[in-house]
Amino acid sequence: MYWKPVALVLAVAFLCSCDGKETDTPKQVEMHLRQQQQLAAVPTALHSTPAVQVEPSLPQLAFPTPDRTIPLGRYEMLDRDPRNGTSLGYLVYAKSPTALTDEQKLKYFAEGYRNVEDAFKKKDMAATELPKIDVMLEAYRKQDYYKLEITPQPKSVHTVGYVKVGEYDFASKSFPLLSETGEANCWSQKFQGWGGVEFEILPSNVVCRLSVPDEATARVIESIRANEGVRLKGTLYLFIPQVERNTALGIAMSASFDVVSRRNEDVLAHFEL
């Protein structure tokens, strides 16, 4: 509000008039008013905080609802390509909203293409390799249900590792499953594949506890677990419907595995989660 500067200017003009001095003209009063307004605005400008420029976050894609009636027999192994790591690349690029050019397909998936300098050889390779690549991409594009091996070995692009059996819990009569991400999300893992692509298993409702209500059975498993260690061997079933940036996103649907002894891999129990 500018009523204070206006009153001040008018008061000054009135006092000058009473002293017998020449009063300000309307133009001078207007000039004084503008000066007062500018001065009044200076502190505000000096102490005001500029608006923070917030970068808009990328839109989060709605995660599709899986069809839980799909039989396990229709889940396919994630690794369809004999070259280790390229299957994840096929999955990511097949489901990515940005289509690859033919040249990109050849560089990513045609073995040796990057090292070819001869233009005619490149053309010949394109004629033979592109149809194969397109078939693979289309297969991954249509399929959302995959399975990975649960293995005692360290995890890779095609295996789930580091899921361990914890100490028996008497209150729940179960063994907790532990992993890199903690007990609550034991199946949540992140994989890095060839060419900078990634795959992340998001938290799901697949339980992270092995129910063993019979204490005699639990005692045997706990004894072997505590003394020589136990491992999991089996299959994790996944729903992988989409890609964000260069990461394929999926959730665990179910798991089927044995708990085996670390020393000789004797089967101690089987679980279906």
For 18-28, what is each residue's pLDDT tens digit?
444 444 444 45
Q: How confident is the model at residue 229 (pLDDT cuts 50, 70, 90)?
A: very high
Please give the pLDDT value at position 252: 93
Classify residue 263 by burial, with Cβ atoms within 10 Å: 0-12, 13-18, 19+: exposed
The number of beta carbons lying within 10 Å of the beta carbon of residue 158 is 20
Range of the domain at 213: 72-272
Q: How many domains does one find in the chain?
A: 2
Identify whether 129 is part of a domain: yes
Identify whether 57 is part of a domain: no
Residue ranges with strand state E in 25-144: 76-77
CA distance 18 to 235: 100
- 210 and 117 in a common domain: yes
For 240-264, what is each residue's pLDDT tens digit?
999 998 899 999 999 999 999 988 8
pLDDT at residue 79 above 60?
yes
The amino acid sitting at 211 is S
Residue ranges with strand state E in the chain: 76-77, 145-150, 159-160, 164-165, 174-178, 190-192, 198-202, 209-211, 230-244, 247-261, 267-272
- 259 and 198 in a common domain: yes
Identify whether 59 is part of a domain: no
Q: How confident is the model at residue 45 (pLDDT cuts 50, 70, 90)?
A: very low
In the predicted model, what is the mean pLDDT of residues 222-235? Answer: 93
Identify whether 248 is part of a domain: yes
Identify whether 50 is part of a domain: no
- What does pTM read for this prediction? 0.72
- 209 and 90 in a common domain: yes
Identify whether 131 is part of a domain: yes
Identify whether 62 is part of a domain: no
- 131 and 249 in a common domain: yes
Residue 96 backbone phi and psi in degrees, to 5: -70, 140
Q: Please give the residue that has the higher pLDDT: either 64 or 48.
A: 64
Beta strands 247-261 and 198-202 are parallel
Spell out the residues 6+ positions from residue 158 whose beta carbon is closer than 8 angstroms to its own.
77, 78, 79, 84, 87, 148, 149
Q: How confident is the model at residue 120 (pLDDT cuts 50, 70, 90)?
A: very high
- 245 and 204 in a common domain: yes
CA distance 118 to 141: 32
- 234 and 125 in a common domain: yes
- 197 and 115 in a common domain: yes
Residue 47 backbone phi and psi in degrees, to 5: -100, -5
- 31 and 158 in a common domain: no
Identify whether 66 is part of a domain: no
The tokens describing 40, both together, are: 């009044």
- 217 and 158 in a common domain: yes
Please give the pLDDT value at position 80: 64
Tokens 């998936």 sit on residue:
109
